[in-house]
Structure 1
Amino acid sequence: MAFLNTVLEPPSYGWTDEDGNLAKPTNAIILKEFFSRLNVFRDKKNWLSFLSWFLVLALTPFLFLFIFKYFSIVGLIVAFVYSMIIMGTHGTIWHHRYCTHNAYTFTNKFWRFFTQNLTLKIIPEEIYAVSHHVHHALSDQPGDPYNAQGGFMYCFLADVNHQPVARNMTEACYKKCVNLMKHVGVTPNTYKQYQKWGTIANPYRTVVGIILNWGFWFTAFYLMGGLPLACAIFGSAGFWAVGVRTFNYEGHGKGQDKRREGTDYNREDMSINQLWPGYVAGEWHNNHHLYPKSARSGFKPHQFDLAWCYIKLMSMIGAVSSYRDSKKEFLMTYCNKDGVEIPVTKLAVKYAEVKPVLVRVK
């Protein structure tokens, strides 16, 4: 816990105010911090934050080309499906359940590489995974990198202002940080390289990987449907990359307690289950905070989990060797023997006592 309290680079306005409460900077201060941390000419250690938003800007021309030159209803449908469903679900499969929570394991490196590159590469794994560990450890508390109580802009620009790893870690702490991502397949910087670049990821390998990923997918989409299809998909990917930054603000009730009886069983934070992100990306967020290491978060009959469908399919074909599935534990704890939900106020079992089961695929 002490390590996770210090693993992220604190913003200039700090995590807490003088009274120890969450520091709530104005939007002007948040924007000033944002542009300061994007400035690679002032500090080259800002390279990863700069790259994250540069990729969004690089996709913008494709969006404009699609809207003003290649627009069609079919293209719009393709763009919607790709951005809202494919990109969203892949984010849950890869960044969320694998990179951060290691909720399942691949049989070999090929299937890991295959899953990693199923879509356009936009969000660097390091920015997401390390900070998400902190999010769970300090959910809705000062230090949570996207604390919804800080406001919309506090969450929306968190990837630059709050999520980068600390730049002054000792070698021992840096090794712990690298250990959080050892299963992801990102070749880490040496400690000396980290002192130079301020990141786990190496800038050269990262940029080359993105170029190869984008080059492959642009060629594939161009061969399938020419520039209209390529522009529709690349443009929609950029649209998703901006929209996904709003999720945690919405997923934690916009800083208010919007949890519902019989729907949101985790009472340790303000996370809520929402139909839209649940259906299009498998992101049943309150369920996930209840069982963060589960490869499935859609537990009830109506909670369709597309990310889980992919993981389960991969296990059936031998690409995934093991996974954690907490559905049985959820039903045993929060429903009676007839499957009827038990009201939160009447639950006798503590959440911390329930552990997910690891399933090994034969």
Structure 2
Amino acid sequence: MAFIHTVLEAPAYGWQDSEGNLSKPSTLQILKAFASRMNVIKDRRNWLPLMSWLMVLALTPFFLLFIFKYFSLKLLLITFVYSMVVMGTHGTIWYHRYCTHRAFKFRNNFWRFVTQNLTLKIIPEEIYVISHHVHHALSDQPGDPYNASGGFLYCFLADANHQPINRNMSEGDYNRCVTLMKHTGVKANTYAQYKKWGTVANPFHTIAGVILSWGFWFTVFYLLGGIALACALLGAAGFWAVGVRTFNYEGHGKGKDMRREGVDHNRNDMSVNQLWPGIVAGEWHNNHHLFPKSARSGFKPYQVDMAWYYIKAMHFFGAVTCYNDSKKRFYQQYYKPVPVVERVCPKTGLLITEI
């Protein structure tokens, strides 16, 4: 089978049934698979999905402290902006447009490092990047790691059940995974280390990176606003980490065809443009599926794209050397406003509008 079909570890219930249709597991099957992927005692190669969820659990006390001890309307507004806009936009810039699609290029590793660490580190790059390539290749088909037709829980627990890489790849296929990750700066395992840990990412470097990120941002938040602000923003990051796991279910119509004529121009999958993710994070998902390598997905005048504004600003200051912008192609191929011509009638002197 093609690399894209085998690069991810198939869940216990499989990608498809005997007739080639999407395998739709029961809630119990999904939860059993999730529990199995959390079990590092049975298999230490489960360390990455376990770490991903342990980070969410570790942020929960900060969220509870904010709600029950430090709550104020001012802090609520700050947490809203941080979780929805800052974390959301950073996710689009870093994980989506750079790490996965290489829609722009940094001048050097310094600016890559700055962008990577603009927010608290929550999602391991490997979990997102490789599986997202599969998502685009097999969108809404069996093998899509967050196929919305599988149901909410199928998507919500996808980072553990469907997104980890295949742990039994040949050395050649593993090196292809390393190539997909090389530009992100993630320290890659050797093939021998991969056979031991089951990942591209090295566990010691990954865990150290998270500890340093959390320590740095906790210190910054504490110096800016004391323990109340630190708890509020770490709690906000945890809230975002849970919420982002619901996005692809919503962004692909909850398994139904919710595309709208004149709004969702891509007809090759069920992706839809949503106003809220678009405004707060620049995630106009149907547009993105039309032009996945574009550094901009907010093509129409009302489609605010905070991620694009950051990339464009970085380019203006020289931190980004080049980028792909598919807005012109979008207008040429999918969105051609009807030209309006106005003229004065020579007989009546009235203004006539022609379409």
Give, in angstroms, the shift of residue 337 of structure 1: 6.3
Partner of 2:235: 235
Partner of 1:354: none
Structure-1 separation of matches of 2:81 and 2:25 = 36
Give, in angstroms, the shift of residue 20 of structure 1: 1.1
Larger of the two Rg values belongs to structure? 2
Partner of 2:83: 83
Counting only pairs closer than 5 Å after superposition, residues 297-336 of structure 1 correspond to structure 2 as: 297-336=297-336
1:331, 1:339 within 8 Å by CA — same for their partners in 2?
no
Partner of 2:164: 164
Counterpart amino acid of residue 159 in structure 2: D
Counting only pairs closer than 5 Å after superposition, residues 183-262 of structure 1 correspond to structure 2 as: 183-262=183-262
Partner of 2:92: 92
Give, in angstroms, the shift of residue 320 of structure 1: 0.3
Counterpart amino acid of residue 266 in structure 1: N
SS in 2 for 1:105: strand
Give, in angstroms, the shift of residue 19 of structure 1: 1.1
SS in 2 for 1:322: strand
Counterpart amino acid of residue 309 in structure 1: Y
Give, in angstroms, the shift of residue 336 of structure 1: 3.0
The CA deviation string for residues 113-150 of structure 1, in whole angstroms up to 9 with x for no partner, is: 00000000000000000000000000000000000000
1:15, 1:23 within 8 Å by CA — same for their partners in 2?
yes
Partner of 1:69: 69
1:265, 1:287 within 8 Å by CA — same for their partners in 2?
yes
Counting only pairs closer than 5 Å after superposition, residues 336-355 of structure 1 correspond to structure 2 as: 336=336, 338=338
Structure-2 separation of matches of 1:146 and 1:14 = 13
Partner of 2:349: none
Structure 2 segments unaligned to the other structure (5+ residues): 341-355
Structure-1 separation of matches of 2:91 and 2:131 = 15
Q: Which runs of 4+ in 1 moved over 6 A?
A: none
Counting only pairs closer than 5 Å after superposition, residues 244-283 of structure 1 correspond to structure 2 as: 244-283=244-283
Give, in angstroms, the shift of residue 221 of structure 1: 0.4
Give, in angstroms, the shift of residue 334 of structure 1: 1.9
Counting only pairs closer than 5 Å after superposition, residues 37-56 of structure 1 correspond to structure 2 as: 37-56=37-56
Aligned length: 340
Structure-2 separation of matches of 1:142 and 1:198 = 23
Give, in angstroms, the shift of residue 65 of structure 1: 0.7
Counterpart amino acid of residue 320 in structure 1: V
Structure-2 separation of matches of 1:76 and 1:36 = 37
Structure-1 separation of matches of 2:318 and 2:286 = 30
Structure-2 separation of matches of 1:338 and 1:182 = 45
Structure-1 separation of matches of 2:13 and 2:333 = 42
Structure-2 separation of matches of 1:246 and 1:280 = 15
SS in 1 for 2:324: strand
Percent sequence identity is 70
The CA deviation string for residues 298-331 of structure 1, in whole angstroms up to 9 with x for no partner, is: 0000001000000000000000011000001111
Structure-2 separation of matches of 1:64 and 1:336 = 50
Give, in angstroms, the shift of residue 18 of structure 1: 1.3
Partner of 1:4: 4
Structure-2 separation of matches of 1:290 and 1:44 = 39
Give, in angstroms, the shift of residue 187 of structure 1: 1.2
The CA deviation string for residues 323-354 of structure 1, in whole angstroms up to 9 with x for no partner, is: 000001111112336569xxxxxxxxxxxxxx
The CA deviation string for residues 15-56 of structure 1, in whole angstroms up to 9 with x for no partner, is: 001111100000111001001100111110000000000000
TM-score, length basis structure 1:
0.93
Counterpart amino acid of residue 42 in structure 1: K
Structure-1 separation of matches of 2:263 and 2:337 = 18
Structure-2 separation of matches of 1:337 and 1:79 = 39
CA RMSD of aligned residues (A): 1.0
Establish whether residue 124 from structure 1 lines up as the match of residue 124 from structure 2: yes
Counterpart amino acid of residue 9 in structure 1: E
SS in 1 for 2:114: helix
Counterpart amino acid of residue 232 in structure 2: A
Structure-1 separation of matches of 2:339 and 2:134 = 34
1:187, 1:201 within 8 Å by CA — same for their partners in 2?
yes
The CA deviation string for residues 62-116 of structure 1, in whole angstroms up to 9 with x for no partner, is: 0111111111111101110000110000000000000000000000000000000
Counterpart amino acid of residue 142 in structure 2: P
SS in 1 for 2:112: helix
Counterpart amino acid of residue 313 in structure 2: L
Report the CA distance shift for 1:339/1:127 in structure 2 as closer, same or farther (over 3 A).
Answer: farther
Structure 1 segments unaligned to the other structure (5+ residues): 341-362
Give, in angstroms, the shift of residue 182 of structure 1: 1.0
Partner of 2:107: 107
SS in 2 for 1:183: helix
